[in-house]
Structure 1
């Protein structure tokens, strides 16, 4: 059973508060619709895997932190033997933003995030 919407929102909020990050900036860089992103961050909606990835990447979280969020949300961690996940891992480890990772995904004919 997946964690509640409030649990994800609380966990994510704790991480960004600890890092002194700005919600509005994260949302802008995530490429997620602003209203939808605020619903996720306020606990109204439960994000899917790509939304968690976009929010983690746009907040500059490490691969370990993003994996923890995915695991906590019961969405499946990034698996390096999956072509798409390997590209995502590479992008995260090289501190690429969502747009740059999407360019890599497109170049390898993989689905983009959000």
Structure 2
């Protein structure tokens, strides 16, 4: 997504950096790294290309925000689906999404929706 000749100050992560950050977020469970973790992650990712601590900080912040946005869309879509096709039982009462800092509760919501 970055221009071929990047004369701006915008950070353009390498594919390796993105892959490693995704792994840390998904499998490592890192959502909001502290200052020390940001330093360590930045040092490691610098092996794969130019990067600063603020890039790591904002990557995690943006990724978490996008996850929340996807979750809200998913829950809204499912809520509208339930209203469009009601069955004999009332739709489940779901917790307010805005009170959760990550999508870590998604499996419980899915279980609640499907009655598991």
Q: Same fold (TM over 0.5)?
A: no
**TM-score, length of structure 1 as denominator length:** 0.24
Considering Cα pairs closer than 8 Å and 6+ residues apart, tell me whether 1 or 2 has the greater RCO. 1
Question: Rg bigger for which structure?
Answer: 2
**TM-score, length of structure 2 as denominator length:** 0.24
